[in-house]
A and B are shown apart, each in its own frame.
Chain A
Amino acid sequence: MSGQTSQIAAEGKAPEAEKGPARQSLLSRLAQNRLSLVGAFLVAVSIFMAISAPFLPLADPNAVNTSDRLADIGAPGHLLGADELGRDILSRLFWGARITLAVALAATAIAMTVGTIMGLVSGYFLGWADTVISRVVDVLMAFPYFLLALSVIAILGPGLLNGMLAVALVNVPFFARIVRGTTLSLRESDFVLAARGMGAGHTRILFRHILMNSVSTLIVATTLNIGWMITAAAALSFLGLGVQPPTSDWGTMLASGRQYLSAAPHTSLLPGLAIFFTVLGFNLLGDGLRDALDPRMREV
């Protein structure tokens, strides 16, 4: 996980409530940062690939054609070449984007939901709930990130769904810690005390007031974290512990291309570059969002 995300986890502070004009200028502030525009472009490309795969006139990604095996870039009928079974790499990159992004986004959604609820409960109610949740988070964070993901796979067995759950679980403590931090600082703020004074229940205070004011921190943390999620999910597939054939994501494409590194390096370099540019895109966008939404997290 990147240093920036760790930095947020360490700080866990709530940003000050955004004022109207400041909120309006979020896009313009983001647009001023050229690197975040590059990031947004890269993310848009990968999302386009994922969404457009079924609608474009691409070759069948699983159609085996041994006469075209390991075809070079630019070979007739294969713009980006073919893999060891003669399957079209361009088509597989587009279809692989769907799996790669779906796994990462689903894992992020699960980690964010579970982690946010844990953080809200822990930081708001304190007492034994906080003690129990904080200790669980401490123990989960005592594991090196990838080792924890492997441990989950060891329990559940390899597979697409299990890989997604493993990547999600590893990130639950990260979100829980950030949201706990923001909740702790918001629970005594004037608007929460006012809401409580007006008779608002715990659920309303937690979700309507505290959660709503933690949204910008969550957006920044999530965007900075998705890159790591994509890498981790692809790494599990690369090791043969995530997505299983015939389904394939960029990680499995890279792993199978590795066998033919000297004869056809493009079979592994292309999916590798796809992962790299997508992760880079999310990291750049995350950096830009952090600067625009939460200037206190900005690096010097």
Chain B
Amino acid sequence: MRKYLFRRLAQTIPVLFGISILVFAMLHLAPGDPADMLLGSEATAESVEKLRHDMGLDRPLAVQYVSWAGRMLQGDMGRSTVLNRQVLPEIIKRFKATLILTAGALTFAVVFGVGIGILAATYQHSVFDSVAMLIALAGVSMPIFFTGIAAILIFAMDLRWLPSSGMYPAAGGDIFDLLRHLVLPAVTLGAVSAAILARMTRSAMLEVIRQDYVRTARAKGVGERRVIWVHALRNASITVVTVLGMQFGYLLGGSVITETVFSWPGVGQMMVRAIQARDYPMVQGAVLLVATSFVFVNLAVDMLYAWLDPRIRYS
């Protein structure tokens, strides 16, 4: 397992390098000179030239990249041109909110998606199976922004069960307030993943249930509950974990839209504002942090995958 971990860790290095190149290139690929963009159209030629020199834009690209990467590794992501604050603390503060939202969505997706998938497979061809799969089929096609708006309309405005925006009440609040505010955004964000997980879990379970060892277990007199939860689920979980890993990227991306719909103070909402304001240090920092965390989540998923299926770590 340790050998596999090191091998897999080594594979992330070129990917992280590639991500850093792309993020670094963002400022340089954008139309216009970065110094011009940062100072605006009314800046004098001298001030632009001075900023170009200060930012090191008059040096070769490779040199600029090395110095930029060095600063990033030390946690210096520069200052936001709009907020005039250090980027990193601002992003970390926001990233926590995004992680809470993503974790909530993932929890919802796993509990409902996997749960419904197992039940649908166990009671294949039942009314529950048909209805659940029809809902899951529709759920896969629901755009987050539409689900979010419909949820606000029904549960916040009509029934008044849950708050429609923010993370806490304006006057502040405790963990229960946070949970109440989390329900709608987390369910909205996790709905598509839950639908996909339900379909994949069902098909993986059905495939496993037909295997010889499951028939053997039943023939040996193992109880149905144990057959489903131990024999079938453990093996079906390989597919489920793979899908879960893929869904994490979707959730991180989808959080941008969910945060905008529900005014959730996360990194996605901040990124949209930063893009509109062309606040490049902020956009670069956010993209770098989210993409890097996605790489490590994928690494963790692969580790889990190798733990579940020993064939992978020995291949």
- A residues with a Cβ closer than 8 A to B are 1-3, 6, 10, 35, 135-136, 138-139, 142-147, 149-151, 153-158, 227, 231, 234-235, 238-241, 251, 254-255, 258, 261-262, 265, 268-269, 272-273, 275-276, 279-280, 283-284, 299-300
Contact = CB atoms under 8 A, between A and B. Distances in A.
Interface string B10-52: 0000110011011100100111000000000000000000000
B206 interface: yes
Interface string B241-256: 0110010111111101
A224 to B, nearest CB: 10
B290 A147 contact: yes
Contacts of A268: 149
B294 A144 contact: yes
What is the interface residue range for chain B against chain A?
35 or more
26 contacts: A138-B15, A139-B15, A139-B19, A142-B15, A142-B294, A143-B291, A143-B294, A144-B249, A144-B250, A146-B257, A147-B256, A150-B275, A154-B283, A156-B30, A157-B30, A157-B278, A158-B276, A227-B141, A241-B275, A254-B145, A254-B146, A261-B153, A273-B146, A283-B137, A283-B140, A300-B207
Tell me the dominant secondary structure on chain B's binding face: helix
Given A144-B249, A150-B275, A299 B203 contact: yes
Interface in B291-307: 291, 294-295, 298
Contacts, number: 156
B262 to A, nearest CB: 11
B272 A241 contact: yes
Nearest to A3: B196
A149 B249 CA distance: 13
Interface of B: 14-15, 18-19, 21-23, 26, 29-31, 137-138, 140-146, 149-150, 152-153, 157, 196, 199-200, 203, 206-207, 242-243, 246, 248-254, 256-257, 260-261, 271-272, 274-276, 278, 280, 283, 287, 290-291, 294-295, 298
A227 B254 CA distance: 15
Nearest to A6: B246
Contact of B243 (A3, A239, A261): A3
A276 B146 contact: yes
Contacts of A151: 22-23, 26, 283, 287
A299 B207 CA distance: 9
B31 A269 contact: no
A144 B30 CA distance: 21
Which among B146, B196, B283 has the highest number of chain A CB atoms within 10 Å? B146
In the A-B complex, the 9 residue pairs with the closest CB atoms: A146-B253, A139-B18, A272-B146, A280-B141, A144-B249, A144-B253, A3-B196, A279-B141, A144-B252
A124 B2 CA distance: 35
Contacts of B295: 142
Given A139-B18, A145-B253, A147-B287, A254 B141 contact: no
Nearest to B197: A3
